[in-house]
Amino acid sequence: LQELQSSGRGRFLLEHAAPFSAFLTDSFGRQHNYLRISLTEKCNLRCQYCMPEEGVQLTPKSELLTTQEIISLARLFVKEGVEKIRLTGGEPLIRPDVIDIVGQLYKLEGLKTIAITTNGINLTRLLPRLKEAGLNAINISLDTLVPAKFEFIVRRKGFHKVMEGIHKATELGYHPVKVNCVVMRGFNEDELLGFVDFTKDLPLDVRFIEYMPFDGNKWNFKKMVSYKEMLDTIKQRWPELEKLPCETSSTAKSYKVPHFQGQISFITSMSEHFCGSCNRLRITADGNLKVCLFGNSEVSLRDHLRSGASEEELVQIIGAAVGRKKKQHAGMFNISQMKNRPMILIAFQLVSCVLMLLLFFLPPEPALMSYPQYQDALQNPPNSKQWGHTFSHWLTLKASCCVFQKDPSSTFDTKCLEASPVGQVSVDCQSKEASSGSEFCTKNSRSCTAVPRSSDNLTHADEEGRATMVDVGGKPDTRRSATAGAVVRLGKKAFGMVRQNQVKKGDVLAVAQIAGIQGAKLTSQLIPLCHNIPLNHVEVSLSLDEARYAVVICSSCQTWGKTGVEMEALTAASLAALTVYDMCKAVTHDIVIEEVKLLSKTGGQRGDFSRV
C-alpha cells in the first residue's frame, strides 16, 4: 500500500478504485482480486515434487491460450476487480513472448501488481527487460543451497544460474525477493537453518512451503514437514525470532530474526489451511478456470472465448464458477476439523478421550470391571476437574488385578501380573517374593518370561493410593527415546476409502500424523502426573496393512532430560489412532483400536527396553 501511495500510478489507482464485482465474490463472501495465469505447461526442470521424471503429456499448441486471449481474459478480470496478476507455468520465462505479455498487462487500468514465479534458470538474462516492461514482484523457486542436492531434486543442472538470478533481482531493487522452498523430509529439512541464514545479508523472504499432493509427484504424508515442526527447529537456533504482522488474505505466516535484512515465511497449506481468506483464482495454460488449487473442477474459458461469447456472457460463466467454490480445499481435505475436534488436543476435550482410551483399549480384567468406580467411569466420563482423582482410583484398582487378554492375531505377547495390594508384586501364580530381574508368568501356560523389573511400587501413587508426581530433580540429564505403536482395524470398506483418499473429512493419514505429533507435545497437559519435557524430535508414521484392513501407527520421541518419553510416544500413537477413528466413523463404527503399546525405550536408570 505504501508503494502504491508513493507512486503517481498507484495514487491514481487508489483514488479511482471501483466497487468490487459480485461475480468474483463467492457464496462465503470471499472477494477474489488475485489471478494466477499459467503461460505454458512446459518446464526446463523436472522437480521431484512437481512432475514425473519423464515429464507430462503436453497440450497441443493450438489448444493453448494465445497472447491476445491471455490479455483479453486478464482485461476482463481486472475490470471486475482483480488487482494482482501472477504469471506462472510450467516455467513462464521459457515462453518467447513473456516480456510482451508483461508489457501489455502493465497497460491495464486498475492492475496494481504484476508478479511472476520462476525457477530462476533464465532470470538473469531476462529480468532487466521484464522490469522495464512493468514486472514489480518476483518469486524464485529454490529448494536447496547444496548444488549436488539441487541436481538431485530438479534432475537438471543450473544451481549457479538460480543463485545469479536471486542476486540480480536484489541488485535491480526488488524488495523483498521471495524465495520459495518446498520442504521435504529426507531431502532438505536439514537445511532450514541455512535458508534462514541466507536472509542475513540479503533482502529476501524465504518461504517454507509444506509439501503438498499433486498427481505424479508420488506424494507421501511421511515427506511432509509441518509448519510447527519447522518453526520449532528454527527457534532452537534463533529463540529471538519475531512474528511479523500479515494481511488478512496472506497465505504466509512471516517471521524475522532481529537485525537480519530479510525474513522467513511459512506456507501452511496442509497443516493450517488459509481457505477462509482465499482470494485467488487460476487460469491454466489451456484456458481453464480453476477456483481452487486442490480441486479437479474446471471451466474452459478458452472454448467460450473462441466460440464468440460476449464479455457479459464470460462474466456470467466466471461468476457461476466462483459461486460454486467450496469452503475449503475443494471439499476434499477437510483439515479445519482439526481445530474443533480432539485431534488438535484442546485439553478439556481430550482429557476424557485419553482416559477412555486407557479404560477401553488396555486389556480389561473381570475383577476390575466389577468395581463400582470402573463402571462409573465407563458410564460417566469425568470432566477436566474430576479426572485426576478418578485416574488415581483406576491405577490403584488396576494394580490389584490380573491383566490377561490374548488376541490370536496380535503380536503383543501379553503377560499376567497377579498382584497383591499396592506395593507388592507377585512374580508367578503362587505369589513368590519379587526380586530384581524377576519372572512374570502367563496365567494359562504357567510359563515364565524373564523381564527386568522396574519397581516394587507404583511410583505415581502414594501408600493410600493418591496420585503423586515423581521428583526427578536429582536425576542426571541423559538421552532418552521411546517408540510406541497402535493398530486401527477399519474393515474393508473404510480401509479402501482411506487408501484412495476418499474419506469426506479429508486425508486421514496426514491429519492423524499431525494430531499424533501435536499430542506428543501436549502430553503433560493431558496426563496430569507427566513432566513437561522439551522434545528434541517427534515422528509419527502411518502405514496401511491390507491383510488386516488396518492402519498401523508407529510413533517415536526423543529428548535430553531427566525423565523418559514413553508417555509422549504412547500419547502420539493413541491420538493418531483416535483421529483415524474420528475421521472414519461416518463410514462405519465397526472400528477396533488395538495393540496400543510401548515398543522400545532407551535411557534412564532402569535401562533399555525392547519388545520382541
Question: In the predicted model, what is the mean pLDDT of residues 309-316?
Answer: 91
3-state SS assignment for residue 70: helix
Greater pLDDT, 463 or 114: 114
pLDDT at residue 315 greater than cutoff 60: yes
- Please determine, for residue 390, whether its predicted confidence score (pLDDT) is greater than 80: no
Confidence of residue 270 (pLDDT cuts 50, 70, 90): low
CB 192 within 8 A of CB 144: no
| Cβ neighbours of 444 (radius 10 Å) | 10
Of the given ranges (183-187, 232-236, 327-331), which has the lowest mean pLDDT?
Answer: 327-331
Three-class DSSP category at 598: strand
Q: Which residues does 283 contact at the CB level (< 8 Å), separation at least 6?
A: 35, 36, 37, 38, 65, 73, 289, 290, 301
- Reply yes or no on whether the pLDDT at 159 is more than 70: yes
| Residue with the three cell numbers 527447529 | 233
Which residue in 57, 82, 55 sits closest to 286, CA to CA?
57
Residue 502 — pLDDT band, cuts 50, 70, 90? confident
Secondary structure letter of residue 158 according to DSSP? -
Q: How confident is the model at residue 344 (pLDDT cuts 50, 70, 90)?
A: very low
Question: Dihedrals φ, ψ of 487, to 5°?
Answer: -130, 135
Give the pLDDT confidence score for residue 424 in this predicted structure.
34
pLDDT at 348: 28
Residue 534 burial (CB count, 10 A): 10
Backbone CA torsion sign across 402, 406, 407, 411? positive
At 51 the pLDDT is 66
Does residue 547 sit in helix, strand or coil? coil
Active-site positions read: 582
User: Any long-range contacts for 535-539 (C-beta under 8 Å, 24+ apart)?
Assistant: 535/559, 535/565, 535/568, 536/560, 538/229, 538/568, 538/572
Q: Which three cell numbers stand for residue 405?
A: 487378554
Architecture of domain 1-347: Alpha-Beta Barrel (3.20)
**Antiparallel, parallel or unpaired: β 280-283 and 535-545:** unpaired
Residue 22 is predicted with a pLDDT of 78
Instruction: State percent of the chain over pLDDT 90.
Output: 41
Residue 291 has pLDDT above 80, yes or no: yes
Cα–Cα distance between 175 and 137 in angstroms, integer? 8
Residue 180: predicted pLDDT: 94
Helices and strands in the chain: count of H runs, count of E runs = 20, 19
Residue 46 pairs with which residues in a beta bridge? Answer: none
Contact 24, 82 (CB under 8 A): yes
pLDDT of residue 93: 96
Instruction: Reply yes or no on whether the pLDDT at 91 is more than 70.
Output: yes
More confident residue, 26 or 264: 264
Amino acid at 419: A
* pLDDT tops 90 at residue 426: no
Cβ atoms within 10 Å of 79's Cβ, excluding its own: 16
The predicted pLDDT at position 11 comes to 53
pLDDT of residue 8: 54
Note the pLDDT tens digit of each residue in 195-225: 999 999 999 999 999 876 444 444 455 678 8
Closest CA to 144 of 134, 132, 154: 154
Q: pLDDT digits over 515-552, tens only?
A: 899 899 888 888 878 888 889 899 999 999 999 999 99
Q: Say how far residue 149 (Cα) sits from the centre of its chain.
A: 24
Q: Which residue has 497443516 as its cell numbers?
A: 271
Q: What secondary structure letter does DSSP report for 19?
A: P
Q: Report the alpha-carbon distance of residue 206 to residue 263 in Å, rounded.
A: 7
CATH architecture for segment(s) 478-610: 2-Layer Sandwich (3.30)
Q: Do domains 1-347 and 478-610 have the same CATH topology?
A: no
The structural domains of the chain, with segments of one domain joined by +, span 1-347, 478-610
More confident call, 437 vs 243:
243
Q: In this structure, what DSSP letter does residue 109 have?
A: T
363, 404 Cβ separation under 8 angstroms:
yes
Nearest to 256 by CA among 282, 224, 234: 234
